[in-house]
Structure 1
Amino acid sequence: MKYNKLGWTDIDVSRVCLGTMTWGKQNTQQDADHQIEYALDQGINFWDTAEMYAVPPTPETYGKTESIIGNWLSRNESRRDEIVLATKIAGNGLSWVRNGGDVTAEAIIQSVNDSLARLKTDYIDLYQIHWPNRTSPHFAKHWPGGTTFTDIDAVQQSQQMLEILQALGECVKSGKIRHFGLSNETPWGINEYLRLSEKHSLPRVASIQNEFSLLHAKDWPYLIENCTYQEVAYLPWSPLAAGALSGKYIDGARPEGSRWSFAQRNGLFRDTKMTNNAIKEYQAVAMRHGFTPSQLALAWVDQVDGVTSTIIGATKLSQLQEDIAAFDMVLNDDVLKEVSEVFRRYPVPF
């Protein structure tokens, strides 16, 4: 396993980050235990979760994933220092989470304490804002007209960010969190947090996780360049486009128990004719060169300049084994050329 620094920090994280959002819905405690043990054996020291998980988010599944991790940690207290544990505070819009309100200083303090209790740990290595208070161009809102900017009060947003940073600063001082990160953010959001932290001597953002894959590479090059030069770790989530790049949903297939067989909070916005055609072509490239479709997609994300650690998740141990193996695979010039040709035909398929 290879490791990178988590942004500007002195923390080394594995190039593979263990995603956990299916634990508590599609996966049981026993499933999670098996995945954890296998990941640790492969040298994966970086885990990502969120108070909102399991997914799809519901009042019944809220906090279940953190609790599953906490159950494992309570049985393996001596191994806590082996793990870089990341979690997130949910943003606005979920009625069962702080009445659907914005992320505020008060919400930060409350949610950190609640996550610590569920995780059964004294500290969180990386505490992340799951999505910003303003609407950002993520979850299929990246098309022109999908998001508006001129009706946002930037001064008000900045003031909220400052209050969030101040609360995070309190959590750092008390030892409850080590570092903080962002998720589903933009270059403006990253840079505003950086500006405020420098101006007010508050914690500096260490990372950002955004959706990034062969089907959704909008962060290249501008946001990733920003992250690289500002020493902010870039952490792709959904590198398989919610499982689509595995090929299992081609032509409308819905394997029983798969993620797309469940109702999704934001709908199946990745399911388009263009996406279907692109996946078929990537699948053909993979087969010609001895990769599975998932391995081709993951190995491609891993080799993108500026990527720190890729978040992967699986419902079956066999899927996790297949996916982790991708990070030891090298895409030669011929493969990259063929991938590039497909990418240019389908640069924004959803």
Structure 2
Amino acid sequence: MTDDLRTWLGALPKVELHLHLEGAIPLSALWQLMEKYGGDADVPDLAALRPRLTYKDFPDFIATWIWKNGFIRSYDDFTFIAEAVARDLARQNIRYAEIFFSPTRFLDQGLKPIGLAKAIRAGLDRVGEIEVRLIADLVRDHGPDQAADTLSQIKEVMDCGIIGIGIGGSEHLYPPEPFAEVYEAARALGLRTSAHAGEAAGPESIRGAVEALKVDRIGHGIAAHADESVMALLAETQVPIELCPLSNVATGSLAGIEDHPVRQFWDAGLMLTVNTDDPGMFHNSMVEEFVVLHDVFGFDRAQIKTFILNGVAASWQTAEQRAAMATAFQAAPAWQS
């Protein structure tokens, strides 16, 4: 049954709304970068790379993220990984994606936000089978002043397909409220907004993202289950949640997949989408995310289609583009089965 399910899921057209470029690099592409820059003595070959990308908790994941970023050193490297990620998404029948990139994480390499955006766009444009738009992750660890400076730079390259901003990074150390002015400035530029919230901090982080930042979407949001008032807020506002179930287990945010509140969220009427977050680091895929929803939580095929259409509806395309995409998805042969 699971093999048949995987085949069907693979054939379905899909969207991805919560995906980090630097965390989605296929292992083979990351290995090429490691070889280019002299490698790591603790990772002697490609086979050793996968176990290196495992984490005991969220801080360990962040530390590994920084280690991996050490092998991305030039604008050409960003063009290379952008193309590799886009090809990997297209291979999975993902037709549309909104991808985070981190404009300020590479300043120590001499890489500026404007140059990064152009380099990434060049790589994405080499793959015609998928449409990809970009979300600038302002990285909460660097503070609101740096976020404001980054915003002032990326507004010069919005024609590279930048449609929104977000804040990732160490949520447990940096709450959302200090970024309210930056979010207001982003909206004034016509950008949409998301925030990682309720992943590595409690439900108060989600409330802050909704009420102080006025976000269009919430990344992860799993801590909402611990506060009935936050659950009610999400149900009332219908702010879409970018769920990343397997990611939450991989980072230690949840002890096991059975602890994920997806069924509680669904039953409460929250607006849910399904995403992979960092598939290059978690070794997951959209197909595997949906297999888990089916096998562990009992979501059937009709409900899986609803998750996919929720992703279309929550995307930051125009209303006309969303409607056209929903129609096209439902006309796909696999959708009829």
TM-score, normalised by the number of residues in structure 1? 0.47
* Structure with greater helix percent: 2
TM-score, normalised by the number of residues in structure 2? 0.48
